[in-house]
């Protein structure tokens, strides 16, 4: 008999290493669409370009990033795992959930996708997008120091990574909840970090616009902050939270509910309606017997369900 060994599972049910070329292309396109969507909305707001009514504001930027990530996780998650973020890939590698030998390919694909996205924004909005809005590049807010940028980027990436590793690697989570949970976490992270650091949460998202626009202010903080936050979140979940047990609704009603078909400590019947070894057979009282001496009360037999809760 020939046995087949399936590839190890990654985020969102993807098969790690099954087809690296396809996974790399998915990471390029996914990162491209994520960065393009978010920074295009940011640039339109910075330039005062309106869709209908007032120009896009900070809330629109956060929603753009979050909503497109919901769609991308659902569309590409089964192909590459939908990392789209070097900090996520590195955190998964540190905790052994992603092979180190594939990590460089993912990091390159993500950076390429972000660079192409920034070029696309430049092409769509023209020179003002680069000269005035820096193609949506993140940077410290007025009065914010590099230490604050590091701290807020680490914290908001911790939030995003904790949600990702919780919902996308644990089989106890309903698949339908994965995309919305990750997208909402990203939107919340951008809303939190926006007033301080611009809310990058993603080294590729930060470096793409920075490199194309030349706005490289405190660039290193947008790499180390997210990476540290993501790694800490992944380690916390992997070492502590992942080992928690899911409450079983069929447990907790007593030792007799083991469901093994044998009597528990109290000698009650098992799930098949028969008493286990050593259990005492109780004779029904006379009032429960018919005139012919046979029991007329219903009993739980092999074809009937046992007592409630068994």
**How many domains, in total, are found in the chain?**
2
My answer on whether 239 and 262 are in the same domain is no
Structural contact between residues 38 and 64, judged by C-beta atoms closer than 8 angstroms: yes
Task: Give me the mean pLDDT over the 217-238 stretch.
Answer: 97
Q: Is residue 5 part of a domain?
A: no
pLDDT at 225 over 80: yes
pLDDT tens by residue, 191-215: 999 999 999 999 999 999 999 999 9
Averaged confidence pLDDT in the chain = 83
**So what's the pLDDT on residue 309?**
44
Residue 292 — very low, low, confident or very high, per pLDDT cuts 50/70/90? very low
My answer on whether 70 and 182 are in the same domain is yes
**So what's the pLDDT on residue 57?**
80
- Higher pLDDT, residue 39 or 275: 39
Domain-terminating residue out of 201, 217, 243? 243
d(CA 143, CA 51): 31
d(CA 14, CA 234): 18
- What Rg do the C-alpha atoms of the chain give, in angstroms? 28
**So what's the pLDDT on residue 198?**
96
pLDDT tens by residue, 19-38: 899 999 999 999 999 999 99
My answer on whether 232 and 126 are in the same domain is yes
Q: Is residue 144 part of a domain?
A: yes
Q: Is residue 214 part of a domain?
A: yes
My answer on whether 161 and 285 are in the same domain is no
Structural contact between residues 187 and 260, judged by C-beta atoms closer than 8 angstroms: no
My answer on whether 262 and 197 are in the same domain is no
My answer on whether 171 and 273 are in the same domain is no
My answer on whether 211 and 283 are in the same domain is no
For the record, the structure tokens of 169 come out as 């690697």
My answer on whether 15 and 65 are in the same domain is yes
CA dihedral 206, 209, 212, 217 (to 10 degrees): -60
Domain that holds residue 300: 257-310
My answer on whether 168 and 264 are in the same domain is no
What CA–CA distances, in Å, run from 276 to 101, 237, 291, 297, 302? 54, 42, 30, 21, 13
What letters, b where the CB count within 10 A reaches 16 and e where it falls short, cover 281-290? eeeeeeeeee
Structural contact between residues 160 and 207, judged by C-beta atoms closer than 8 angstroms: no
**So what's the pLDDT on residue 271?**
43
My answer on whether 92 and 123 are in the same domain is yes
**Axis-axis angle for helices 20-46, 58-80 (nearest 10):** 170
My answer on whether 81 and 187 are in the same domain is yes
Q: Is residue 252 part of a domain?
A: no
**So what's the pLDDT on residue 10?**
83
Task: Give me the mean pLDDT over the 43-55 stretch.
Answer: 83
**So what's the pLDDT on residue 50?**
80
Q: Is residue 3 part of a domain?
A: no
Q: Is residue 156 part of a domain?
A: yes
My answer on whether 41 and 140 are in the same domain is yes
Residue 256 CB-density burial (10 A; 0-12 exposed, 13-18 middle, 19+ buried): middle
pLDDT tens by residue, 87-122: 999 999 999 999 999 999 999 999 999 999 999 999
Q: Is residue 227 part of a domain?
A: yes
């Amino acid at each position: 008999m020939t046995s087949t060994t399936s590839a190890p599972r990654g985020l969102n049910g993807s098969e790690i290493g099954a087809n690296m070329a396809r996974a790399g292309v998915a990471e390029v396109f996914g990162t491209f669409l994520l960065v393009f969507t978010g920074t295009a909305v940011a640039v339109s707001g910075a330039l005062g370009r309106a869709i209908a009514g007032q120009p896009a504001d900070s809330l629109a930027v956060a929603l753009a990033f979050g909503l497109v990530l919901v769609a991308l996780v659902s569309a590409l998650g089964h192909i590459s795992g939908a990392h789209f973020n070097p900090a996520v890939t590195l955190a998964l590698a540190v905790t052994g959930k992603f092979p180190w030998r594939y990590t460089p390919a993912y990091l390159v694909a993500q950076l390429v996708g972000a660079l192409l996205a920034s070029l696309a924004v430049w092409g769509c909005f023209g020179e003002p997008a680069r000269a005035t809005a820096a193609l949506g590049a993140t940077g410290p807010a007025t009065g914010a120091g590099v230490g604050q940028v590091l701290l807020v980027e680490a914290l908001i990436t911790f939030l995003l990574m904790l949600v990702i590793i919780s919902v996308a690697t644990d089989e106890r989570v309903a698949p339908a909840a994965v995309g919305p949970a990750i997208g909402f976490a990203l939107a919340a992270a951008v809303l939190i970090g926006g007033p301080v650091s611009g809310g990058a949460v993603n080294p590729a998202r930060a470096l793409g616009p920075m490199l194309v626009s030349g706005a490289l202010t405190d660039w290193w903080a947008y790499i180390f902050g997210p990476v540290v936050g993501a790694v800490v979140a992944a380690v916390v979940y992997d070492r502590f939270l992942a080992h928690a047990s899911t409450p079983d609704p069929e447990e907790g009603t007593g030792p007799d509910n083991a469901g093994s078909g044998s009597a528990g400590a109290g000698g009650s019947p098992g799930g098949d309606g028969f008493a286990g070894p050593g259990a005492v057979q109780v004779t029904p009282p006379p009032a429960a017997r018919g005139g012919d001496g046979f029991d007329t009360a219903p009993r739980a037999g092999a074809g009937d369900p046992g007592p409630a809760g068994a």
